[in-house]
Structure 1
């Protein structure tokens, strides 16, 4: 066999191996991590629920029923302090992504969080925390490593996103999308893309790559806090308890 023939076969073999690796990374490995990340979030959510104190009969800013609180700028919504890197902050539930879909949000957006079998979603350091006035911003992969935010583009106006912390459950409602360049960090501002503006809303910003399997741009999803409750919202009660 000629040198060119051997070289051609080697290149063909290398190409097949590359394709197999891509398939393994984005399909099989992602499927495995999806199950692990989902299981870890389920375990943490149930642990927090079991350890939570009974809901107070009344509290500042309460609007009645199951410890539910209003969400005006001056409402007494609990806001935790920012933890150390890779520490758990919350469990996020998005029914639009699947009836059993959930993930742990950990501090930081490095590989130790986004690629972790016990996380999948990372909190941008120095942005707000759940329930805070301003911008609680998180990131996750769209494909690979669990394909956590693969279905962000399926969100529809008013869809609920639930965020559970040790304090309780924050209910956000999806508002709108934005497509930006990867370098556009202004989406992390307290008022997204409005540098210097005074925040009044309590926003959840979810960022991921777009389109799937590419990193050409970023898909940004914005949701606004509707309510806080010390008990699980009905839509996810069976999934948490």
Structure 2
């Protein structure tokens, strides 16, 4: 009798773990995308902010804007959404201040490191997210391809970065968060983005790091940028 009870308890534990890791992730991920889409729609319905200053007009007529830089958010304050076409047309996840699990990563989605620069600011926009559990917003980070768009949306508009490369580092290697990743103290005047998550899956042994470079800012008054065009979605990492 006791053996049967222990066996039943073990099965229930396995079922709960399976729910948390797979079914729960699907549900939470979908909920997070819905919340992101709702905020995008709210911004779309609001009066568009005045476009920022024009830096130049390229020969093909493309207008280059000086990207606006918003103040650094408070801990757990939602200030932006992340959209990555490679992760699917419905991928739209909140970005909030801080990287604590309890307040930001587990409850909201993607977290902004305290020392990070803001979208469009010279330096490094450094973000963290889960690869497993709690909606796993960075689950497919290893599926990014060269030049894939990584788009950050705020009330002002859309900041497009382009993926460049992946790297695996130890958790103690915080130089990836420097203004110029892996080169602390160096200043280039460029704008970077760094996405970090745990690696391998279901482990805290290492960090997988995705780097990108800034391409352009599109004001809200001009509508969504071409960088959000659909691409072949990547399969989830299991």
- When normalised by structure 1's length, the TM-score is 0.85
Distance 1:188 1:68 in 2: 30
Q: Residue 112 of structure 1 aligns with which residue?
A: 103
Match of 1:85 among 75, 79, 87: 75
Residues 10/68 of structure 1: CA separation in 2 closer, same or farther (3 Å cut): farther
Rounded to whole Å, the distance in 2 between the matches of 1:149 and 1:132 is 23
Structure 1, 61-70 or 127-136: larger mean CA deviation = 61-70
1:204/1:41 CA distance change after superposition, 3 Å: same
Unaligned runs of 5+ in 1: 71-75
Stretch of structure 1 that moved more, 44-53 or 19-28: 44-53
The equivalent of 1:29 in structure 2 is 24
Q: List structure 1 segments (4+ residues) > 4 angstroms apart after TM superposition.
A: 8-11, 64-68
* Paired residues of 1:207 and 1:221 also in contact (CA < 8 A): yes
Taking the aligned partners of 2:202 and 2:7, their CA distance within structure 1 comes to 23
The 8 Å contact of residues 87 and 140 in structure 2, kept in 1 or not, is answered as yes
Deviations 1:148-183 (Å, cap 9, x if unpaired)?
111010001111111111111111100111101112
**Greater mean alpha carbon deviation, residues 228-237 or residues 147-156:** 228-237
Determine if contact 2:84/2:228 at 8 Å carries over to the other structure. Answer: no
Q: Which of 60, 75, 92 is residue 54 of structure 2 equivalent to? A: 60
Alpha-carbon contact 1:88-1:105 (below 8 Å) kept: yes
Structure 2 match to 1:138: 127
The alpha carbon displacement at 1:193 in A equals 1.4
- Evaluate the alpha carbon distance shift between residue 68 and residue 17 of structure 1 in structure 2; reply closer, same or farther with a 3 A threshold: farther
Q: What is the deviation of 1:66?
A: 9.6
State the shift of 1:147 in Å. Answer: 1.5
Number of residue pairs matched?
225
Aligned partners of 1:87, 1:199: CA distance in 2, in Å?
29
* Residues 179/52 of structure 1: CA separation in 2 closer, same or farther (3 Å cut): farther
Matched, 1:103 2:93: yes
Distance verdict in 2 for CA 1:17–1:187, change over 3 Å: same
Name the Cα RMSD after superposition. Answer: 2.3
In structure 1, distance between residues paired with 2:193 and 2:47: 23
Partner of 1:180: 169
Query: Whole-Å Cα distance in 2 between the matches of residues 18 and 228 of structure 1?
Result: 48
Query: Are the counterparts in 1 of residues 110 and 137 from structure 2 also a CA contact under 8 Å?
Result: yes
After TM superposition, the structure 1 = structure 2 runs for residues 212-223 of structure 1, keeping only pairs within 5 Å, are 212-223=201-212
Q: Secondary structure at the match of 2:146?
A: coil
1:131, 1:21 → 2: CA distance? 42
Give 3-state SS (helix, strand or coil) of 1:131's partner. Answer: coil
Work out whether residues 149 and 228 of structure 2, in 8 Å CA contact, stay in contact via their aligned partners in 1. no
How far does the alpha carbon of each residue in 1:15-68 deviate from its partner, in whole angstroms, 9 at most, with x for none?
323322211111121111111100110011121222242664x83314369984
2:44 to 34, 40, 49: 49
